[in-house]
């Protein structure tokens, strides 16, 4: 099958055009046609010379994706988009309302191979990596749902983005390209459970996206029970890679900590977490555990006490409130099912 033209970054498309004997600058017009005009066929690309369009149509494919099904939370207006990509790869995105702003959470894989014990996506196993075009198509659909304005993008949906690094990197480059959507990389955050070599690749790359690391639990034995990837990349190595990233980029990192009631929320757990991250410029997000398929207990007094303890250590600590509880749209609940539909 011919490759999808939307899987190419502009630099890659320029190279293809050069090989076809055409001027590389036509790539900017192709990006404008695809991402500003919404062209879904080569014939639609009015701003690209016909000769170039014919050559591109010979070497690439371009067809519209199926429209996603949209579920809207009656509780808080969160929107969950369910995509069916070719080859029966389901994926989900979420448009999250905040204080006067909307953000989108995108998937990088259909399913996930990491198998975290608390995560519905992990229970699916990996169906397949999503291609750059399938990641940028989620952005386009979320942008439509958001009425044309999104303030930030997070790659925290289905999948581990760093196990699909090349496609994630291409998607971030395509989304931020000024000839197309022009969404700034500085307003994108990529979240990882701790794939150390890929954290280092991000640090060494030119990508300006922010880094979020899922700590989940600060005790390595407990973490190993919750996050199988701990056996391959122990938390101390993950934190060391995050520390190097902050130093190299002069940036802060986000640490995500899932609070399990009575499991990792004691004062001793808070002290252990602080010892781990105390010398790293960071922001800590506490996420009350959302069990698969149902609303969690939310912000309990124990969660609040944990936050207070971390703040007393001087760590900027925020509570991430559950979104879309009635449509299974919260962290760890994405499983490409229609369960909990709120219409
Ligand atoms: S939490 Fe993230 S890395 Fe772990 S199984 Fe779920 S999607 Fe994969």
Q: What is the pLDDT of residue 164?
A: 98
Residue ranges covered by each domain of the chain: 5-59, 69-327
Is 246 known to be catalytic? no
Which region, left, alpha or beta, applies to residue 337 given φ > 0 means left and ψ of -120 to 50 means alpha? Answer: beta
Catalytically annotated residue among 105, 114, 282, 331:
331
Name the class of domain 5-59: mainly alpha
Nearest by Cα to 131 from 104, 155, 107: 107
Return mean pLDDT, the chain. Answer: 93
For 111, 125, 162, 208, 231, the CA distances from 323, given in Å and listed in that order, are 20, 24, 25, 27, 31
Opening angle at CA 99, ends 97 and 102, nearest 5: 35
121 Cβ below 6 A of ligand 1: yes
Which atom of ligand 1 lies at the shortest distance from residue 160's CA? 3
Catalytically annotated residue among 12, 69, 92, 160:
92
pLDDT of 341 strictly over 50: no
Determine the distance separating the centroid of ligand 1 and the alpha carbon of 120, expressed in angstroms: 8
116 Cβ below 6 A of ligand 1: yes
pLDDT of 130 strictly over 50: yes
Name the class of domain 69-327: alpha beta
161 Cβ below 6 A of ligand 1: no
Q: What is the pLDDT of residue 339?
A: 39
Q: How many CB atoms lie within 10 A of CB 182?
A: 12
85-94, 140-149, 247-256, 292-301: least confidently modelled range: 292-301
Is 119 known to be catalytic? no
| pLDDT tens readout for residues 160-215 | 999 999 999 999 999 999 999 999 999 999 999 999 999 999 999 999 999 999 99
């Amino acid at each position: 099958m011919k490759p999808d033209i939307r899987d190419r970054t502009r630099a890659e498309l320029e190279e293809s055009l050069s090989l076809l004997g055409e001027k590389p600058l036509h790539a900017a017009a192709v990006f404008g046609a695809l991402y500003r005009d919404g062209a879904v066929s080569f014939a639609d690309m009015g701003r690209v010379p016909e000769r170039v369009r014919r050559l591109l149509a010979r070497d690439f494919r371009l067809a519209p994706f199926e429209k996603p099904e949209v579920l809207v939370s009656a509780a808080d207006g969160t929107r969950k988009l369910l995509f069916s990509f070719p080859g029966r790869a389901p994926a989900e995105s979420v448009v999250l309302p905040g204080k006067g702003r909307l953000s989108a959470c995108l998937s990088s894989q259909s399913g996930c191979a990491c198998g975290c014990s608390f995560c519905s996506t992990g229970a699916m196993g990996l169906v397949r990596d999503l291609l750059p075009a399938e990641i940028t198509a989620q952005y386009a659909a979320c942008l439509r749902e958001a009425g044309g304005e999104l303030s930030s993008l997070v790659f925290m949906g289905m999948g581990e983005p760093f196990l699909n690094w090349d496609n994630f990197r291409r998607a971030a480059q395509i989304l931020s390209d000024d000839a197309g959507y022009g969404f700034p990389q500085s307003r994108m955050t990529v979240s990882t459970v701790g794939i150390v070599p890929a954290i280092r690749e991000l640090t060494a790359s030119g990508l300006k996206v922010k880094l979020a690391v899922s700590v989940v639990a600060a005790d390595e034995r407990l973490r190993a029970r919750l996050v199988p990837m701990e056996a391959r990349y122990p938390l101390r190595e993950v934190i060391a890679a995050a520390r190097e990233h902050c130093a190299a980029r002069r940036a802060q990192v986000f640490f995500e900590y899932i609070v399990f009631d009575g499991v990792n929320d004691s004062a001793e757990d808070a002290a252990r977490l602080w010892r781990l991250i105390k010398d790293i410029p960071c922001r800590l997000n506490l996420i009350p555990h959302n069990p698969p398929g149902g609303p969690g207990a939310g912000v309990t007094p124990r969660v609040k006490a944990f936050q207070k303890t971390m703040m007393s250590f001087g760590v900027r600590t925020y509570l991430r409130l559950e979104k879309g509880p009635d449509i299974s749209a919260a962290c760890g609940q994405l499983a490409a099912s229609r369960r909990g539909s709120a219409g």
